[in-house]
Amino acid sequence: MDSAGMHRPRNVDWKRAAALLYGDWGTSKAYVIGLAFVAAGYASLPIILAVCALTAIVGYNYVIICKHFPDGGGVYSAARNQSRVLAVVGALLLVANFTVTAAMSGWAAMNYFQVPDRWIPLATMGLIIGVGAMNFFGPKHSGSLAMLLAVPMVVAIVLVVGMSVPYLSLESLKPSKLPFSDKWVAFTGVILALSGVEAIANLTGVMKLDPGSNPDVPLVGRTARRAILPVALEVVLGTCLLGWAMLSLPDDLKPDLELRLEDMLRFLAEEYGAMSFGITFGHIFGWAVGCIVGLLLLSAVNTAVAALIGPLLADARDLRALAGPRVCAIGPGTAARLLRFGITPDTQPVDHRAPGVVAAMANAGSLRGARVLLPVSNGSANSLADALRHAGAELTEVTAYRTITEEGDAHLGLYRQMLDRRIDAVTFTSANTVRAFVEIYGTEQSPDLLSGTVVATIGPGAADAAAAAGIRVDIATEGATVAVLVDGLIRQFRH
């Protein structure tokens, strides 16, 4: 089976997708209301409301986009249907968007954590590198982390809004005296800061499929809708109410508002906490909200990094699109493990013996002069290496793991059990395990010791090694997985 028969893992459910989206889109309110205040002061409420209205419309449109582009890519995928040039431009804009998002969110997180100014650049860069390393383990794991960070943020927003309700007023609001051009500049600046919904369209390629669909005809519209709508509702209502709460603070706090634009939510928590329950509570509550928002801003960096692979997945490519080597995976277990790390095998031979592997690789491209890296175990007689060299490949063998025979007297107890026929089955998972068994118990004695025991092997290599040692094999599985071996043992003992 080649890569055409392979499918990328889709293990991000709607809750994790929503949390990843909230990590980007939901965190925008942490600084967007401050930007609005800087742009228009106490006349910024119309700008905030207009931004929220447009955000709601865009959110609904992304429900439709995700439905029609289930393999990821979002804007890139839509542009690709029109023009390759447009697709390239769209992909570059997406990369620029998520790069800026990661940088801005990381920088804002450092402000909420009150990192000293001189250390913020280095701390932000270290954060982005660390989040990139975490995404090495796949979007499901980063989505789980996003869920843990999103819940406290929602609670914090509800508490801040709840404390501000008795103090909400229109007294401090002022009509805008700015010309339309300045209002438009302020509006566009704020709407760009409130962006983030595009992240969801780049995650559809790893979302769990809707009930009734399959990997060949993927559908994720239901999953995407359930992820987008609750986040959109929270972002729109939360931004409106927090903006109103900000503008309900008295005029004499205007200098503080302008100084705290980068950690505005923390400032609101401090002020309304103090108004509701005293200054001490306000300081503690502000500190807690600052930590929560800072952690969620880390999730925004995480979302940006995770979404960067969307355009790659949209073309059914993987992280090797940045490099170029082809990959052959021998056995479904190996292929599944590669997929977990973002690598889609180009070739997955049906026949796991050396001739079958070489034939499958040759079908994908000539091996003469091809440079092949072959991970092997130590001390194994590698027929695949010989077959690849015979086909003309320039081979590099690297020892990926070592098989070490256990030292000590532990094998003596097993020897007595085998003599007494107290062991029902012995499994060999590789040719090396067969050779190690023969080394411990002897060339002549090994077949006799196992004569009354069910012998099971995984793959042709182990079966051939057992046959060469004179060991009778009762179960020889073709599939190189433990699951297939277990199925064979179950069938054997049912009879």
For 174, the 3-state DSSP assignment is coil
Beta bridge partners, 401, equal 377
DSSP H or E segment with residue 456: strand 454-458
Instruction: Give residue 86's identity as a one-letter amino acid code.
Output: L
Per-residue pLDDT at 41: 80
What's the confidence (pLDDT) of residue 354?
A: 83
What's the start-to-end Cα distance of the chain, in Å? Answer: 33
Q: What pLDDT sits at residue 211? A: 86
152 by Cβ neighbours in 10 Å (0-12 / 13-18 / 19+) ranks as: middle
Contact 84, 77 (CB under 8 A): no
What is the distance between the alpha carbons of residues 126 and 163, in angstroms, rounded to a whole number? Answer: 36
Query: Would you state the structure tokens that stand for residue 19, as one six-digit string?
Result: 């949390």
Q: Across 120-229, where does the E strand assignment appear?
A: none
Q: Are 33 and 189 in contact (CB under 8 A)?
A: no
- List Cβ neighbours of 1 (8 Å cut-off, separation of 6 or more): 348, 349, 350
Predicted local confidence at residue 412, as pLDDT: 78
Our CA angle for 373, 377, 381, nearest 5°, is 95
Q: What kind of architecture, by CATH, is found in domain 3-314?
A: Up-down Bundle (1.20)
| Cα–Cα distance measured from residue 30 to residue 98, given in angstroms and rounded to the nearest whole number | 17
Q: Of 308, 292, 242, whose CA–CA distance to 45 is shortest?
A: 242
Which DSSP symbol is given to 70?
Answer: T
Structure tokens at 161: 């809004």
Structural domain boundaries of the chain?
A: 3-314, 323-401, 410-494
Residue 365 DSSP label: S
CB 458 within 8 A of CB 429: yes
Handedness of CA 255, 257, 263, 268 (dihedral sign): positive
**What 3-state DSSP class applies to 63?**
helix
Q: Write out the chain's pLDDT in tens, 495 residues.
A: 334 444 556 778 888 888 878 877 777 777 678 778 877 788 888 888 888 888 888 888 888 888 888 876 666 666 666 777 776 777 777 777 777 777 877 887 888 888 888 898 898 898 888 877 766 555 555 567 778 878 898 999 999 999 999 999 888 787 777 777 777 877 776 766 556 666 677 677 778 888 888 777 788 889 889 989 999 899 889 989 999 999 998 888 878 887 787 788 899 999 999 999 999 999 999 999 988 888 877 766 766 666 665 555 555 455 555 456 788 988 777 887 777 666 778 888 888 778 888 999 999 888 888 999 888 877 655 778 888 999 999 988 888 777 777 766 767 778 888 888 888 999 998 888 888 888 888 888 888 888 889 999 987 778 888 999 999 999 888 766 777 888 888 888 887
Q: Is the distance from CB of 272 to CB of 247 less than 8 angstroms?
A: no
Q: How far apart are CA 214 and CA 282, in angstroms?
A: 52
Assigned CATH class of 410-494: alpha beta
pLDDT of residue 5: 43
The whole-angstrom separation of Cα 334 and Cα 347 is 12
What is the structure's pLDDT at 3? 41
Which residues fall within 8 angstroms of residue 400, CB to CB, at 6 or more apart? 375, 376, 377
Q: Taking the CA of residue 442 as centre, how many other CA atoms within 13 Å lie in the half-sphere pointing to its CB?
A: 6
- Order of strands across the sheet that contains 454-458: 425-428, 454-458, 475-477
What does pTM read for this prediction? 0.57
* CATH class of residue range 323-401: alpha beta
β-partners of residue 476 are 457
Identify whether the C-beta of residue 461 lies closer than 8 Å to the C-beta of residue 432: no
Radius of gyration of the chain (CA): 30
Say how far apart CA 493 and CA 495 lie, in whole Å: 5
Q: Cα–Cα distance between 367 and 390 in angstroms, integer?
A: 10
Domains 3-314 and 323-401 share a fold: no
